[in-house]
Structures are given as C-alpha cells and as structure tokens.
Structure 1
Amino acid sequence: MKHPVLTALSSLALSALVAGAALAQSATDVRSLRGTDIDQANAVDDIHKQIEGRMPRNYRQQPPLVPHSIDQYQMDLRTNQCLSCHDWTVAGERGAPTLSMTHYLDREGNQLDTVAGTRWFCNQCHVPQANAPALVDNIFKPSSTSN
C-alpha cells in the first residue's frame, strides 16, 4: 500500500520541478537593482568618483570607510596589501591610521602580534568611499540625530 503513495508523491514532485523550471526559463524580465539585465555587466558612470578625505561615521562602531582606491590591492590567503601601510609595525612611518587593537585578538580574546585570521579580509567590513547613487531608498538617520 505504501508503494503507490510513494510513486504518486514522486510523480507530483517531478511535475512541480519541471513546471518550476519551465516557469523560471520563461521569466525573461529579471533585472538587477540598477535596471540592467541580470547577465549584463553594469557600466560605471563618470559620476561614481572616489571621495577624497575621510568621511564621518554614521554610528558608533561603524567600520571606517576607505578614503582611497583599492582597485589594485592584492588580498588573498597569503597577502594583504592593506597591512603594508596599516599594520601597527609600519603605520607610524607611513602616516596611515593603525588598525584597531580588536584586529589583533583571536576568537578567545588572546592578543596576537599579527592580524587575526578573522580580520584578514579588510573589505568584509571596510569599503571605499564613493559618490554613487543609492540602489534603494534609504531613510537611515545617524544615531546622534535620532531622538
């Protein structure tokens, strides 16, 4: 008795899968947030310029934005070019801000002499400053102005 029920459920699941695939292929009007086709590269307009100087933070503990281009920076498992200026051993002589001490703590809170592996990929939190239009409306207000 269980065998016919399993066969019916399998056939129903297969029918739903085929119908879903057909529907997905017919959906040709899928677009990115910038309004282009999803498989089309987004062109960067001239108005998207790097902002010089440091921008103020909007909330406490916000990771600082990067005030310079990082287009040519190598960042992989072995190399992190950000550290050539921002590591505590060279920041003073390079005139760059030193990383926060939290970047030198492991998961157990032990202090390290090198950047912790959990903080190795800087662009997880830090992004370049750019004058680019917002993809979606934003009503965020900095914490110092909200009541």
Structure 2
Amino acid sequence: MADAAPVPLDTPTDLNRNDTRTVADALNVALADAYALYLKTKNYHWHVSGPHFRDYHLMLDEQAAQILAVTDVIAERVRKTGNTTLRSIGDIACRQTIRDDDRDFVPPHDMLATLREDNLHLVEVFRDARERAEEARDTATSSLADEWIDQAEERAWFLFEASRRS
C-alpha cells in the first residue's frame, strides 16, 4: 500500500499558514538543538569529575532539566500553529546545529566552556525563531522566545562564572 499524501492539519489559528510554516521550521531547528544540548549537558553531568564534582554535577543537572522543560513548550507551540514537529532521534540529527560530543573523556573546564558556547549558539537560534515569529505577527511565539533566550543566557553566564580561574 502506497503512503497517502499528508493531510494538512486543521488547527484553528488566525495566523497565515505559510508564515507559520516558516516559524515552525525555525522552531524545529531550535527544538532539535535543545534536545542536542540537553543530551550533551546530561552526558557531562554523568561524566564530570574532579575537585568541583558536586557543584558541577548539580549545576549541570539543573541546567539539563531547564532545557528539557523548554522542549515541550517549543513542540506545543509548533502544533498550536497547525504545523508538525520532530518525530524521531533521526529527525533531530538532521536538524540540529549543535554538535554532539562523543569523546570518552572531557576535562571539566572544557565541558563548561563547550556548554557555554552551545548555550550562546542556542540564543542565536532562538533569536532567529523570534525574528521569524515577529515577521509572521506570531506574538505568542515571540514572547516565549524572549524567555528561552533569557534562560539560555543565564545558563551561559553560570557556566562562564563557574569556569573562571582565580
């Protein structure tokens, strides 16, 4: 049996369907990057070692939880505008712009520096989504993106401060 053509979603919205598709594309990249950053943060949380183990371990766990919480909000926003979102790990891998880190050992200072840069990259991805939302007159997505940007900037700040050497 051949796959049937996709049926458009009939989600009620007063936003232009073509504009929301552009916003959804940007949000799906943000969602893929959030998942990639979540998993990288958990990876570092699981593998951190050294004299600051407890502090880093707890901070990374808190940050991972915050990132994971954002993923559901992003996906639900895509659906509220009548679009579809990520479906699999493969879909995430195709869209993510944050690189994975599969190294067996990463020094704690490198972990913090990498996550700081990744969070700053995520800020730029969120800003792109916000700009597209503003162009589409999608104020709800734009407002949510402001919060996501603030959270990612705060995570980057904490990572910067925790990695400063006396």
| TM-score bracket, shorter-length normalisation | under 0.3
Larger Rg: 1
> RCO greater where, 1 or 2, for CA within 8 Å and sep 6 or more?
2
Q: TM-score, normalised by structure 2?
A: 0.22
Q: TM-score, normalised by structure 1?
A: 0.24
**Which has the larger share of helix?**
2
